[in-house]
Amino acid sequence: MKIQSVITGTGSYIPTLIKKNSDFLSSHFLNEDGSSMEYENEVVIDKFKAITGIEERRYATPDLTSSDLAYFSAKKAIEDANVNPEELDYIILAHNFGDVKSTSIQSDILPSLASRVKHKLEIKNSSCVAYDILFGCPGWIQGVIQAEAYIKAGIAKKCLVIGTETLSRVLDPFDRDSMIYSDGAGACVIEAVTNNTTLGILSHISQTDTLDECYYLFFGKSFNKKADEDTRYIKMYGRKIYEYALNNVPLAMKKALDKSGIDIAEVKKIFIHQANEKMDEAIIKRFYRLYKTKLPEGIMPMSIHKLGNSSVATVPTLFDLVKRGKIENQEINKGDIVIFASVGSGMNINAIVYRY
């Protein structure tokens, strides 16, 4: 019998504030040079929805921060796994901007968000090691890969992996790309399981490209030239990211699947980072094209339409929602082969092949 890394519990936190596309009709969007856009907001919003698929997104209430959202999702995952928090060996928390209070422009990561979650969970065990990782949008998946490494090395039996973000606190209201971003958190408990049945993580792949791609996502000034020059916001070169993702994510997914020895016909679901509906669809189509096979209907669950892009939280949140039957016409069953995949700031890409 061999040791396998199996997700035994999941949890997510969906913020309660709903921000609809119509709420941006009164926004004053500007071009990068500070000039006014040539289209009315209604046209901008319609084009935005056609490309991204986003109809609305969720924002955290002013009294909550990323570590709060992380705690809520972590508590659900622990309860779902039915484990004693004191038995956790690691708490791995992925984020990008730390705790940003609704009234502040400053990121707070001292202490680490993972330490804050451990504190909120009231875990006394000092051998439970808590730390953060910064890996862009693929952070949660990378945390799962790290947990797998600890389990396979025999130094951990139970790990808690969390992805949390409050992007609404770091967006430029004068940039139309601000409509993409949202808040949320997702978590899972991964345990070492020993049996004769092949379960859990079968293979994984990660990569970082920085020669030309390092600053496709970055912190930059507001498009409003009258704004404080020392305040920075999340910015991106959308077209470059789209091209990079389309050219590289399908290949990374193929490497992971080929490494697992699983035939593509066995794949039942692909949980991909909810970045942009058109981009995600193009990635999956190209992935199946690499195998010269037809794209199965319903293979890619989507949550971006109602939840937006919450970075590291998108994949674990989507997985939890499907697992709990909360995404229409989507389900996963015991024994199903699924793929987790993401792309984001770095530029980083990763993928996991998993038997549920």
| 0.75 exceeded by pTM | yes
For CATH 3.40.47.10, the residue range(s) in the chain are 2-195, 200-355
| 275-315 confidence digits (pLDDT tens) | 999 999 999 999 999 999 999 999 999 999 999 999 999 99
Annotation: CATH topology of 2-195: Peroxisomal Thiolase; Chain A, domain 1 (3.40.47)
Q: Which parts of the chain register pLDDT below 70? A: none
Q: By 3-state DSSP, what share of the chain in percent is helix, strand and coil, each rounded to 5?
A: 35, 25, 40
Class of domain 200-355: alpha beta
User: What is the secondary structure of 231-261 as a DSSP string?
Assistant: --EEEE-HHHHHHHHHHHHHHHHHHHHHHHT
pLDDT of residue 2: 85
What does the DSSP 8-state code read for residue 112? -
Whole-angstrom Cα distance, residue 354 to residue 356? 6
Contact 163, 94 (CB under 8 A): yes
